[in-house]
Amino acid sequence: MKTITKILATSAAVVALFISTNANAQNKQKLGIGIIGGIPTSDAYGVALGADLRYQFDVDKQLSIPVTAGYTRFLGKEIGNTGIDAPDFGYIPVKVGAKYFFNDSGSGVYGLAELGAGFGTNKGAGTSFVYSPALGYAWSNGLDLGVKYEGLARDGGSTGYVGLRLAYGFSL
């Protein structure tokens, strides 16, 4: 995991440098807050709930660079009919990606791809590689609704969820 963490840190630094050197009056910046609900892909969990903050730098009207951080919790459920409940699992995802609007208005249908790290909040949970593709619709008034998959991979295992993100974005 140390190599992945170094790669992510380097990528974040490159994005920050890109943003700071290309900032001008034509490029908009936005801050969004979102809530997430989802269905986990693992049988050990019943539901995934979360919230996030997303800083978005518009390269142009169709392409944006989002940096997202938040908190997600998988709520455990009974494993089979054993009477044993799986423990809840929480993590803090920190991701960077690319968001592309399919029309040139800067709103409407978009595709989003993000990569990053998930820092486990449970004792001994460690850090996971996080990836998250999404499709959504952003209205010009700031409302954003997206369908996403978020996967976590660590030590040869993986889990994730299919979810819905409802957000509101503010221009900075």
Helix (H, G, I), strand (E, B) or coil at 17: helix
- 64-112 pLDDT tens trace: 999 999 999 999 998 878 888 889 999 999 999 999 999 988 889 999 9
Of 62-66, 125-129, 154-158, give the lowest mean pLDDT range: 154-158
Token duo for residue 3: 């190599």
Contact present, 27 and 19 (Cβ < 8 Å): no
Amino acid at 71: Y
What is the pLDDT, as a whole number, of residue 93?
A: 97
Token duo for residue 79: 């494993």
- 5-58 pLDDT tens trace: 555 555 555 455 455 545 444 568 999 999 999 999 998 899 999 999 999 999
CB neighbour list of residue 95: distance below 8 Å, 6 or more residues apart: 66, 67, 68, 69, 114, 115, 116, 117, 130, 132
Instruction: Please check the confidence at residue 1 and state whether its pLDDT lies above 70.
Output: no
Higher-pLDDT residue of 61 and 39 is: 39
Q: Per CATH, which fold does 2-171 belong to?
A: Porin (2.40.160)
φ and ψ at 6, to 5 degrees?
Answer: -65, -40
What is the pLDDT, as a whole number, of residue 12?
A: 56
Q: Which residue has 């040139």 as its token pair?
A: 104
Nearest to 90 by CA among 123, 116, 67: 123
Q: Which residue has 């049988």 as its token pair?
A: 43
d(CA 144, CA 66) in angstroms, rounded, equals 14
d(CA 147, CA 161) in angstroms, rounded, equals 11
- Our measurement of the distance from residue 121's CA atom to the centroid of its chain's CA atoms, rounded to an integer in Å, reads 17
Count Cβ atoms within 10 A of the Cβ of residue 167 and give its class: 0-12 exposed, 13-18 middle, 19 or more buried: buried
What is the pLDDT, as a whole number, of residue 79?
A: 80
The pTM of this model reads 0.82
Contact present, 90 and 72 (Cβ < 8 Å): yes
Token duo for residue 39: 């269905």
